[in-house]
């Protein structure tokens, strides 16, 4: 526990039952060794400032309040040990300054105050260290260029009980005033997750900034405090959509609404666990050549292959990829173990064209159902009203 260190020669004092962190003299000139009185030259008497405290420390997760016993505040600056400032405003009566952001846990601050008559004072205070810290992972990563379907996605290390409070501190700005909404879910990993998607697919070229201004926010019981802010900047790339038709065994790539190529494919074997998922899914990652083993997706030991041009569509293991061993079925039958397979030259071409975040719209009666919301990025399978209802602020 850090101790307070008054910067003035005056000792701390209690004001109306409030624990005063540091009572510093606010004078137009230098202070003396004790409370000063008006002298013959008209120097104003000392005025003390206080900061809202709990015991000997300020309470994290609340705005900082600086108050005056006498006089009126003109300007207050609150700076942490790293030089970051807490912005705030002075009340109409000039007696109180309140920060716009909350005090972060485990942080030391310096208050510098100036009165309307030129008096100044400084004071130090600290907040208690958090018992538990919550962190998060943002997607897409910073300075990414992604396809028109990629949501902004946040996965939290620990549970978030105070979802509404956390959501209030998530700020999305775009270059073209895109309309969107947050939606909460449990990630495939079991962790709490919140995504932001537009009402419709992003417009290509949109510049997006996400600021998670969470420093000093309590995520709730068992979750812990956030002790920093997070930010990511994203650019939306070209307008392209992949359409996979399970019934006709064709895959098409459209750019700006125009068909660029029509490719024969083979989807998942219908009638059981090996069928493909239908729905509007999102290309999560381009993984190149990977080892695919059926036992990792609950299909026993049916296959163990090195697979080229692998494009992940779901966490449960649905990919689009090269499948030369299924060449005789391309364009005529669905015979894979759940993935969308293509001949190697076609898979290579698609792999080179697509970008992470492109929508893969899979349709057809041969599917085993619609992709779940948290099985990758499944939010485009919800109506706009259904998605908005998942916000904690609705």
Do 339 and 251 lie in one domain? The reply is yes
Give the three-state DSSP class for 16.
coil
Q: What is the pLDDT of residue 18?
A: 30
Q: Is 384 part of a structural domain of the chain?
A: no
Q: Domain residues for 186?
A: 136-237
Buried b (16+ CB within 10 A) or exposed e, 22-49: bbbbbbeeebeeeebeeeeeeebebbbb
Q: Is 162 part of a structural domain of the chain?
A: yes
Do 247 and 200 lie in one domain? The reply is no
Q: What is the pLDDT of residue 120?
A: 85
Look at residue 27 and tell me whether its pLDDT is greater than 90: no
Look at residue 246 and tell me whether its pLDDT is greater than 60: yes
Give the three-state DSSP class for 219.
coil
Do 265 and 173 lie in one domain? The reply is no
CB 136 within 8 A of CB 210: no
Count structural domains, the chain: 3
CATH code, domain with 276: 2.40.440.10
For 90-144, the pLDDT digits (tens) are 999 999 999 998 889 999 999 999 999 888 888 888 888 898 999 999 999 999 9
Q: Which of 128, 7, 13 is nearest to 61 (CA)?
A: 128
Higher pLDDT, 315 or 27: 315
H-run or E-run covering 352: helix 344-353
Average pLDDT in the 374-379 region? 98
Q: Is 389 part of a structural domain of the chain?
A: no
CATH code, domain with 207: 2.60.40.3710
Burial class (CB in 10 A: 0-12, 13-18, 19+), 81: exposed
Q: Is 388 part of a structural domain of the chain?
A: no
* Of 179, 204, 237, the domain-final residue: 237
Q: Which of 319, 303, 305, 304 is nearest to 351 (CA)?
A: 319
Percent of the chain's residues with pLDDT above 70: 84
For 279-327, the pLDDT digits (tens) are 999 999 999 999 987 665 555 556 678 999 999 999 999 999 999 999 9
Average pLDDT across the chain, whole number = 86
Look at residue 30 and tell me whether its pLDDT is greater than 50: no
Q: What is the pLDDT of residue 298?
A: 54
Do 245 and 362 lie in one domain? The reply is yes
For 41-98, the pLDDT digits (tens) are 333 333 466 777 665 667 788 888 998 777 899 999 999 999 999 999 999 999 999 9
CATH code, domain with 114: 2.60.40.3780
Look at residue 389 and tell me whether its pLDDT is greater than 90: yes
Q: What is the pLDDT of residue 48?
A: 62
Do 86 and 158 lie in one domain? The reply is no
For 152-207, the pLDDT digits (tens) are 999 999 999 999 999 999 999 999 999 999 999 999 999 999 999 999 999 999 99
Do 121 and 158 lie in one domain? The reply is no
Q: What is the pLDDT of residue 119?
A: 86
Give the three-state DSSP class for 288.
strand
User: Residue 68 — φ and ψ, nearest 5°?
Assistant: -115, 140
Q: What is the pLDDT of residue 56?
A: 61
């Amino acid at each position: 526990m850090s101790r307070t260190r008054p910067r003035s020669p005056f000792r701390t004092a209690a004001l109306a039952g409030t624990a005063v962190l540091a009572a510093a003299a606010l004078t137009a000139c230098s202070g003396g060794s004790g409370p000063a009185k008006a002298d013959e030259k008209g120097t104003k008497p000392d005025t003390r400032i206080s900061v809202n405290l709990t015991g000997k420390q300020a309470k994290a997760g609340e705005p900082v309040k600086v108050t005056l016993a006498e006089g009126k505040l003109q300007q207050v600056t609150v700076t942490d040990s790293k030089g970051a400032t807490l912005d705030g405003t002075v009340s109409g009566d000039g007696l109180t300054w309140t920060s716009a952001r909350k005090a972060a846990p485990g942080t030391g601050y310096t208050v510098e105050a100036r009165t309307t008559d030129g008096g100044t004072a400084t004071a130090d205070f600290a907040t208690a260290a958090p018992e538990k810290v919550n962190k998060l992972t943002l997607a897409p990563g910073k300075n990414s260029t992604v396809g028109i379907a990629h949501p902004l996605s946040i996965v939290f290390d620990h549970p978030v009980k105070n979802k509404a409070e956390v959501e209030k501190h998530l700020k999305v700005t775009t270059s073209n005033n895109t309309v969107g909404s947050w939606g909460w879910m449990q990630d495939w990993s079991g962790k709490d997750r919140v995504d932001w998607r537009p009402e419709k697919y992003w417009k290509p070229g949109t510049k997006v900034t996400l600021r998670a201004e969470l420093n000093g926010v309590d995520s709730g019981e068992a979750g812990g405090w956030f002790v920093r802010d997070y930010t990511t900047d994203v650019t939306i790339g070209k307008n392209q959509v992949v359409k996979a038709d399970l019934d006709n065994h064709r895959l098409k790539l459209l750019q700006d609404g125009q068909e660029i190529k029509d490719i024969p494919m083979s989807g998942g074997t219908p009638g059981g666990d090996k069928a493909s998922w239908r729905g509007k899914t999102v290309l999560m990652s381009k993984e190149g050549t990977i080892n695919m083993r059926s036992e990792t997706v609950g299909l026993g030991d049916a296959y163990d292959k090195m697979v080229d041009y692998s494009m992940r569509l779901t966490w449960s293991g649905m990919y689009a990829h090269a499948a030369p061993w299924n060449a005789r079925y391309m364009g005529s039958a669905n015979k894979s173990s759940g993935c969308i397979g293509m001949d190697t030259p076609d898979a290579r071409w698609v792999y080179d064209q697509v970008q992470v975040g492109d929508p893969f719209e899979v349709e057809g009666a041969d599917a085993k159902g619609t992709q779940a919301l948290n099985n990758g990025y499944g939010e485009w399978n919800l109506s706009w009203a259904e998605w908005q209802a998942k916000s904690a602020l609705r």
